[in-house]
Amino acid sequence: MSSVPRLVIAAPSSGSGKTTVATGLMAAFAARGLAVSPHKVGPDYIDPGYHALATGRVGRNLDAYLCGPELVGPLFAHGSRGCDLAVVEGVMGMFDGAAGEGELASTAQVAKLLRAPVVLVVDASSQSRSVAALVHGFASWDPEVRVGGVILNKVASDRHEALLREALDSAGVPVLGVLRRAPQVDTPSRHLGLVPVAERRAAAVDAVAAMGAQVSAGCDLEGLMALARSAGALSCAAWAAAEALASSPPPPLPSPTLGFVRAGGPPSSLGAAPPDSRFGPEGASSSNAGRAEHAQPRSRVAVAGGPAFTFSYAEHTELLTAAGAEVVVFDPLRDEQLPDGTSGLVVGGGFPEVYAAELSANEPLRNAVSALAESGAPVAAECAGLLYLCRELDGRPMCGVLDATARMSERLTLGYRDAVALSDSVLAVAGTRMRGHEFHRTVVEPGSGAAPAWGMHAPERRVEGFVQQGVHASYLHTHWAAEPGVARRFVERCRTS
């Protein structure tokens, strides 16, 4: 059960100012001494970094496509436990979600799942009276979504504000804030969106402080808090990593390729799939397996961090820890060796293309990563991690774990994906179905190895990624809360490799 007051910050479209308003609200309420829980609808990794800076708490994603609608409430309750307020930043336009899937993964769906009132952020820079029609349309289009207030952004003058307020008097939705144009709260962007906090921390601190000050001056914080308190109670139990591992079903049995052609021949031989530690000897119960698991020494899992590798979901670390791992973060830009005793490696997403020269110059670490992979230890790499494991990136030497090259591209690859594992790996057995997303402007050649990681049906039928020895490398970002057995399988391989 969760009764944490909460607001969902939505907008008619991208670029309306959701991040400024949501981050500013988080900072403003945190400055008042409230414990604020930050959340982001969708798969985006960058906005949660600004949210964390504003609140001092881990930013968490709520993605109904990656995790399923049934996990949105429990994950929210997990992140917001003990907080005075939760602020949820939406994604794109309020009713925009997964392409061709109706409301799935939209801000509107998440607001309904959380029984939360919506604050609509409207870019008013090029309109006056028309704002009433816009707000009326969004407030009435889905009667299950409760738009409880409007924040007008990019208002030009007192006269402009008066015209907007007059028009909205007839819309029945209160104005809870008016923000003027303020260049100091702008945050720089590049090929994949905002520049992450880790790359501009001092400037990001100033930007978040400016957002908080602007929102404090221009918004009715008491009215917004009253609206947040009107959210309905959630009856679901909070998600917990240990419980998710204990209740996760056994992995599926290996299956045929399901119609996908494996590039370059049959899968590489990993031998039998590592035993699933939910079952001890002779099929022991999951609870007995859990006790045995924590009786063993913890395996040390190194997780890449620092400015080059900023993309990760907090629940991944929590699941690895609950599965019996000791998680240690290292920075591939600065650390010349993996943490002592590393038995497994996770390299998530980020911007290695921005730091290719620095990553390449760190030859001792590249050699250490290559040696770890060669030993058969488990290595899980997503997107940026895939590039780092390649032979080279934009002509600069990388780790050489994969016989592939990577380069920047003008083409943006973006979207949700339904995937099926095509090869037994340290993350899954062949036949495991998972949902993920891709978000990159790079190309890896070849795009898959002799044992591909995934097969996908859309936007075109293809195989993707690499499975070899203990390595699983792919462009696909996944959320392990949807399939907790991934973390358990990975940690089990750390123990047995």
Largest alpha-carbon pair distance within the chain?
Answer: 77
Q: Print burial letters for 456-469: b (CB count within 10 Å at least 16), e (below 16).
A: beeeeebbbbbbbb
Cα distance between residue 234 and residue 388, in whole Å: 42
Tally helices (H) and strands (E) across the chain.
15, 22
Is residue 240 classed as helix, strand or coil in its secondary structure? coil
CA 348 – CA 371 distance, rounded (Å): 19
Cβ 163 vs Cβ 156: under 8 Å: no
Please pick, among 383, 390, 399, 494, the residue that the annotation labels catalytic.
383
**β-pair partners for 456:** 419, 462
Tell me which DSSP letter residue 411 carries.
Answer: E
DSSP characters over 281-298: TTS--HHHHHHHHHHSPP
In the residue annotation, 390 being an active-site residue is answered as: no
DSSP string, 94-139: TT--STTSTTTT-HHHHHHHHT--EEEEEE-TT-STHHHHHHHHHH
Query: Do the Cβ atoms of 46 and 127 come closer than 8 Å?
Result: no
* CB 463, CB 371: distance < 8 Å: no
Indicate which residues carry an active-site annotation.
Answer: 383
